[in-house]
Amino acid sequence: MNTAAAYAASFPTEKPVRFGVIGCSSIVPRALLEPARFVEDTAVVAVTNRTAAKAEMMAERYSIGTVYRTPAELLSDSQVDAVYIALSNDLHAEWIAKALNAGKHVLVEKPLCLHTDELGLIESALQPGGPCLLEGVMVRHHPWQDKLRAMVNDRSFGRLRLVETSLCIPAQNGHMDNYRSRPEQGGGCFRDLGVYWLQFLQTVAGLEGAGFQGQSSFDGPGGCDWTFQAQAEYPDGLSAVALFSFERPYRCSHTLTFEHAVVSLHDCFRANLGFYKMTLRIRQPGQIPAKTEFRPMNYYVNQLDHFCRMVRGMAAPVPFQESAERIRLLDSIYQSACQSSIK
């Protein structure tokens, strides 16, 4: 059951999609509360957090009507249609399953879960025609990805030979008092940023058949990976290399080398901060550099709009297996780096 039509009767279109927030992390305003102002018929009606004072402050600032002491109380509220889960990575699977079983649609921060063995718990809670689940990989919902996939598929510039990715975002305050500096909670740069690389590769080249490896010295706080390198080799000769870091200077980019052109996207996370124009730059030997520009968009507004259309039956749910494939690889690549570090 993959079409939007199959879900068209799942949610009344005449009422807003009412959200409850589980976890008041710093990403919540940027990913949900502010984008909700731009997505029609969307309302945030409840919030809960381990520290009640933090939930109360968020509720007051953003005019959220109800503060709950626990996530379980929020899930029992019949006025809540969907939940946005912004907990640490190790808690995602548990509360995704509980929310789906409570009949709530779920938008969860990436990664979907922390370990491969948690996928079964989530999948068992998904039912055909039931609540929707979307992993919040916000870049997925911008047309630059479709444009790059089209370039690869139609071989406008010949075969794709190399994909180079840098996702380096210096840690603010060293991610102190943050799950990103705690290995047991899924800390480190690769689990935080690697999902974006895998989703990008999944879109432009697919993931099946490629061999993946990772390396890190794991010298960050608590033994977290503060810099991580990863590679993928495809049977057709395509190579993909990536650098992730919480300690190197800011650089977020993708560069695709084709037989007859180099296509690059600089500052590829820019549109998560607001409505910004994104530009693909194209260089071909002997020709004037060209570019493809996209009107200003906000990744999180696009994501929230897509999620709400899924809930309303106006867009097909994103297949669970897309996220599951990424989680399996995320775990496998991370473990390969652990093994090489031990050696």
Catalytic residues: 110
Determine the Cα–Cα distance for residues 7 and 72; give it in Å rounded to an integer. 27
Q: Cα 272 vs. chain centroid, distance in angstroms?
A: 11
Is residue 289 classed exposed, middle or buried when 0-12, 13-18 and 19+ CB atoms within 10 A define those classes? exposed
Tell the residue number behind the tokens 């990008």, with chain if given. Answer: 200
Return the closest-CA partner of residue 340 out of 233, 264, 231. Answer: 231
215 and 340 Cβ atoms separated by less than 8 Å: yes
Amino acid identity for residue 288 in this structure: I
Determine the Cα–Cα distance for residues 191 and 87; give it in Å rounded to an integer. 14
